[in-house]
């Protein structure tokens, strides 16, 4: 069939002929659901219709949703990992000090805490070691 000779009797064509341009979801001349827009171009005697298959449009949205889920999951895993690291790095020295306090209270007055921190927890460990009256070693 030569170009511009196919009769297209679809909703957007009928609406443009009635003077209403549309952007909508409808079935095209093949009977396939599409998302389309139509505009009348009377200076050329044309009706311009731009369409994209609904399945194609929603496939893009589905892919975007999958990518968003993957990125969200990755970010959530990173936050959980950072949280676990923070909790472990903070609680381990405190547990060591708790055990040292129990040993000290149990009569092991020469027990010393290994000092691996240069922060408040390290200061607390140094103070604990000073309670025993012996200088702390290079443990």
pTM above 0.85, yes or no: no
Task: Compute the distance between CA of residue 65 and CA of residue 29 in angstroms, rounded to an integer.
Answer: 30
Q: Which residues pair with 30 in a beta bridge?
A: none
Give CA 137 to chain center in angstroms.
Answer: 48
Pair of tokens at residue 68: 């968003």
99-132, pLDDT tens digit by residue? 888 988 888 888 888 877 788 888 888 888 888 7
Q: Is residue 83 part of a domain?
A: yes
Query: Do 65 and 21 belong together in one domain?
Result: no
SS3 of 41, please? strand
Residue 137 lies in a domain: no
Same domain for 128 and 65, yes or no, is yes
Asked whether residue 35 falls in the same domain as residue 66, the answer is no
Range of the domain at 109: 59-132
Whether 51 is covered by a domain: the verdict is yes
């Amino acid at each position: 069939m030569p170009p511009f000779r196919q009769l297209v009797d679809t909703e957007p064509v009928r609406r443009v002929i009635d003077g209403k341009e549309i952007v909508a979801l409808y079935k095209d001349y093949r009977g396939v659901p599409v998302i389309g827009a139509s505009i009348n171009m009377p200076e050329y005697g044309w009706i311009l219709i731009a369409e994209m298959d609904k399945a194609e449009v929603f496939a893009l949205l589905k892919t975007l949703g999958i990518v968003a889920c993957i990125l969200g999951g990755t970010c959530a895993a990173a936050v959980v990992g950072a949280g676990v690291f923070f909790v472990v790095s903070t609680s381990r020295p405190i547990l060591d000090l708790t055990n040292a306090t129990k040993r000290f209270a149990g009569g092991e007055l020469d027990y010393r805490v290994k000092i691996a921190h240069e922060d408040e927890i390290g200061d607390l460990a140094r103070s604990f070691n000073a309670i025993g009256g012996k200088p702390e070693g290079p443990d």
